[in-house]
Structure 1
């Protein structure tokens, strides 16, 4: 499918332009052109925020998922509601495996006790590769969603996170009407709508209701 790969990029220089909690690097590159030859030397600033893990807690008996709601400052530039409905997610700590991130974040954000052995990797994708290097690793885990709810999060990180249980039908409706409007959650819900039976088979659970 692809005409070129990483070998067809010439990285002339990479330099840090900002270092705070996150980092901005400048990449000075040239690359092969589809019609032949090489591009001019390009300068591209890339937001280096690290990679993240998201997890879909899925209840196959009730065809339901657990999502969380929290304030997101990145929405303030728009006229949209800055309280977003999302899947549980978090960034890597030092020397953490993706499954460890999923288990840790599920406990911190929703008081869920997940088993690393039951996690299944669904996909990995770049969230916005034109401007950031961030890659999202999406997992699913089986749960019993009955009697779940509450408000969680870490006080020292300023987290105030409310837990919701949604049927997959209701979640899809919220995607369609624009209430759920962040890429990670849209991708996860649509993946689940297409492939839920794969998870049931993987976990050796009775068929979906």
Structure 2
């Protein structure tokens, strides 16, 4: 038994090698793939589970970028329709960060920079990784790499997106304090945007001063 205040590491020594994939089949293949797994894994108390079945949405991995302008102290966000919000939201056009799926041969940072151009017309200068996380590991294999990127927001705005992908994206520019107010009042309710803006709230002064100093030294 662990001591009351002792912090035990997650996993208790278990690794991916303590999972046995018995069988996998594609249950559905469309824009995304739904896979059916038969598997078993070790138990914390020892031994193994019986073979269990799980479905997993295989949508690839994604890169997300919070575009931040340290000179004007502004963030750029994009607004677009999301089917997943229809059931629970009166307005299923969500305020989000720039994002895209990572294709084979691309790095997460490459995707973040490319999507900034496609979705918001922004060229990204410096970037910093905020975190890498699993948005819904109980039913989806996706991992998200979330960055903050230095941009010039002075001319940001308008409508963007690739017609070939049926994208209809409206760009918004907010003062940092106003974006954080939207977060506080629940107007921003998707995970990547919440995480990115909360990180900016905690690191605002540090990242702004760092990037402003870099900009001065480059000039």
1:98: which partner in 2?
A: 108
Structure 2 stretches of 5 or more lacking a match? 1-8, 215-219
Shift of 1:198: 4.2
Preserved contact between residue 68 and residue 76 of structure 2 (Cα < 8 Å): yes
Aligned residues: 205
1:195: which partner in 2?
A: 203
Structure 1 stretches of 5 or more lacking a match? none
Alignment of structure 1 residues 123-138 onto 2, 5 Å: 123-138=131-146
Deviations 1:98-154 (A, max 9, x none): 122112111111111224xx2222211111100100111111111222232111111
TM-score, scaled to structure 2: 0.87
Shift of 1:202: 5.1
**1:182 maps to 2:187:** no
2:155: which partner in 1?
A: 147
Divergent runs of 4+, >6 A: none
Q: SS at the partner of 1:18?
A: strand
1:62: which partner in 2?
A: 72
Preserved contact between residue 97 and residue 193 of structure 2 (Cα < 8 Å): yes
TM-score, scaled to structure 1: 0.91
Shift of 1:41: 1.5
Q: SS at the partner of 1:205?
A: helix
Preserved contact between residue 122 and residue 152 of structure 2 (Cα < 8 Å): no
Determine the C-alpha separation between the residues in 2 that align with 1:19 and 1:13: 17
2:5: which partner in 1?
A: none
Alignment of structure 1 residues 1-209 onto 2, 5 Å: 1-2=9-10, 3=12, 4-115=14-125, 118-200=126-208, 203=211, 205=213
Deviations 1:36-88 (A, max 9, x none): 32212111100000011111111122322110011111111224310000000
Deviations 1:142-193 (A, max 9, x none): 1222232111111121111111111222122211211101001001100111
CA radius of gyration, larger in: 2
CA RMSD of aligned residues (A): 1.8
Q: SS at the partner of 2:201?
A: helix
Shift of 1:196: 2.7
Preserved contact between residue 43 and residue 49 of structure 2 (Cα < 8 Å): yes
Determine the C-alpha separation between the residues in 1 that align with 2:43 and 2:172: 48
